[in-house]
């Protein structure tokens, strides 16, 4: 009997001890899963919903990283991939002008990986095409008609006796191509895309397309609005998938946008970028800085006021919510997506770096400049937080506002490897390291 009683007491003590030593919050709040040092930069674009990330090594060659196991695939520098669009080759530098004057010269300068499924890579290639103007060009300085110097093969102004840059005198078109690279064969299959300077909107991983935008010129006829073309490219074939026009606020100097695509691909977000010119107002007016919510199916646009330097945004279609976080305004704002009506706003000391949602939208992950927070999206209250210096010793603040990526499954956050800056306790990317993968709660 005494032995049974003693055993019961010991079991009870053991249970109590176990409960004390393993509290309910045993799941780590924010835990380092993996250090990736196969490259010397952190990913800048989300190229996969939740499985892959792409960075660059010291030779600027893309490195594909499997987020599940850390395995890496190092590609050739993209210019060297067989079949990739490349600039027109000239035998000698002195022959470049003649090549430009041929009207067939191409200069490809940008190669950016925008998508991968681990076996195929989608690359956006950008450059310039040069062609002779339809009529003899005029010299911007004196208005004289330009001629082609027979020996130098370059435009010059006889009236001023001055050479003129071919870039200034010829028809120069910004050209784009989508090149699909098969990793097994190492070959690229390029497809022509619309000309013009394109804005990268983002991947619709569910629909298998990448969205781009292009502002349509309208000056000097523009008044309040101008047209913006939105179109999508099939990431595996390069074929155009959808295209439509929307009206956006006209900005004389051209707007800068921060963009996002909802996980379902049904909603696009364009947020104008503005900065404070004094303590009360930004540079944009009539209207002030705008956030545009675009419904792909209906092509409808809902405009709402945004904030200065919006670095964080998250789209919750299920609950009709849009989360916007500002660095300079140091605020987090919640609005109804369908109307723009304000639901709540609160201050974020030190400013905002990044926002994302858990897969079920029950938790909002808030990366402020000084800490990482978890917000209950029902009560809109902070449930837990951890200081940046806990994650990166010696670093008190993030200085990587647009360099944080969170996977769509809500499991991981990708950040640069941060080290303490020489002039202060803020973090700067470590040029000798790649990036860090953290597990989200």
Pick 172 or 73 by higher pLDDT. Answer: 73
CB 371 within 8 A of CB 378: no
Contacts of 36 (CB under 8 A, 6+ apart): 53, 55, 65, 70, 72, 434, 435, 436, 437
Q: What is the pLDDT of residues 256-286, one digit of tens each?
A: 899 999 999 999 999 998 888 777 778 888 8
Contacts of 139 (CB under 8 A, 6+ apart): 145, 146, 157, 159, 160, 162, 164
- Name the residue with tokens 């300085």: 141
Q: Which three-class secondary structure state does DSSP give residue 266? A: coil
Residue 282 DSSP class:
B
- DSSP-derived pairing of the beta strands 331-336 and 321-326: antiparallel
User: Does residue 220 have a cis peptide bond before it, meaning omega lies within 30 degrees of 0?
Assistant: yes
Confidence of residue 49 (pLDDT cuts 50, 70, 90): very high
Distance of alpha carbon 7 from alpha carbon 13, whole angstroms:
10
Average pLDDT of the residues in 245-253: 90
pTM, two decimal places: 0.87
Confidence of residue 329 (pLDDT cuts 50, 70, 90): confident
- For residue 162, give Cα distances in angstroms to 95, 96, 129, 152, 324: 20, 19, 24, 12, 52
Pick 215 or 221 by higher pLDDT. Answer: 215
- For residue 158, give Cα distances in angstroms to 98, 178, 243: 19, 42, 46
Q: Is the pLDDT of residue 143 over 90?
A: no
CB 77 within 8 A of CB 64: no
């Amino acid at each position: 009997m005494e032995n049974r009683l003693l055993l019961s007491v010991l079991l009870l003590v053991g249970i109590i001890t176990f409960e004390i030593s393993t509290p309910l919050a045993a799941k780590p709040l924010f835990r380092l899963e993996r250090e990736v040092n196969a490259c010397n930069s952190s990913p800048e674009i989300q190229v996969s919903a939740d499985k892959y990330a792409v960075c660059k090594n010291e030779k600027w060659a893309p490195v594909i990283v499997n987020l599940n196991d850390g395995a890496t695939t190092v590609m050739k520098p993209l210019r060297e991939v067989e079949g990739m669009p490349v600039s027109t080759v000239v035998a000698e530098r002195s022959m470049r002008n003649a090549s430009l004057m041929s009207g067939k010269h191409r200069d490809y300068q940008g190669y950016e990986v925008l998508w991968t499924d681990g076996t195929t890579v989608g690359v956006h290639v950008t450059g310039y095409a040069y062609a002779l103007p339809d009529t003899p060009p005029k010299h911007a300085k004196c208005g004289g008609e330009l001629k082609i110097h027979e020996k130098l093969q370059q435009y010059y102004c006889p009236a001023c006796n001055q050479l003129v840059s071919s870039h200034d005198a010829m028809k120069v078109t910004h050209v784009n191509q989508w090149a699909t690279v098969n990793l097994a064969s190492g070959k690229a299959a390029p497809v022509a895309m619309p000309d013009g300077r394109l804005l990268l909107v983002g991947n619709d991983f569910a629909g298998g397309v990448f969205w781009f935008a292009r502002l349509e010129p309208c000056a000097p006829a523009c008044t309040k609005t101008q047209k913006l073309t939105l179109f999508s490219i099939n990431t595996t074939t390069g074929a155009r998938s959808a295209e439509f026009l929307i009206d956006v606020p006209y900005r004389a100097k051209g707007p800068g946008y921060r963009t996002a695509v909802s996980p379902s691909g049904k909603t696009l977000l364009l947020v104008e970028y503005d900065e404070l010119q004094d303590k009360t107002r930004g540079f944009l007016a009539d209207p002030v800085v705008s956030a545009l919510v675009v419904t792909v199916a209906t092509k409808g646009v809902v405009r709402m006021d945004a904030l200065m330097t919006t670095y964080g945004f998250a789209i919750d279609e299920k609950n009709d919510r849009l989360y916007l976080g500002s660095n300079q305004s140091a605020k987090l704002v919640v609005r109804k997506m369908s109307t723009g009506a304000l639901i709540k706003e609160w201050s974020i000391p030190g400013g905002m770096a990044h926002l994302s949602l858990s897969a079920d939208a029950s938790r909002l992950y808030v990366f402020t400049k000084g800490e990482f927070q978890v917000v209950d999206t029902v009560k809109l209250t902070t449930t837990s937080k951890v200081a940046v210096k806990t994650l990166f010793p010696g670093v008190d603040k993030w200085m990587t506002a647009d360099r944080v990526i969170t996977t769509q499954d809500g499991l991981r956050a990708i950040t640069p490897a941060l080290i303490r800056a020489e002039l202060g306790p803020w973090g700067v990317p470590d040029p000798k390291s790649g990036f860090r993968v953290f597990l989200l709660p």
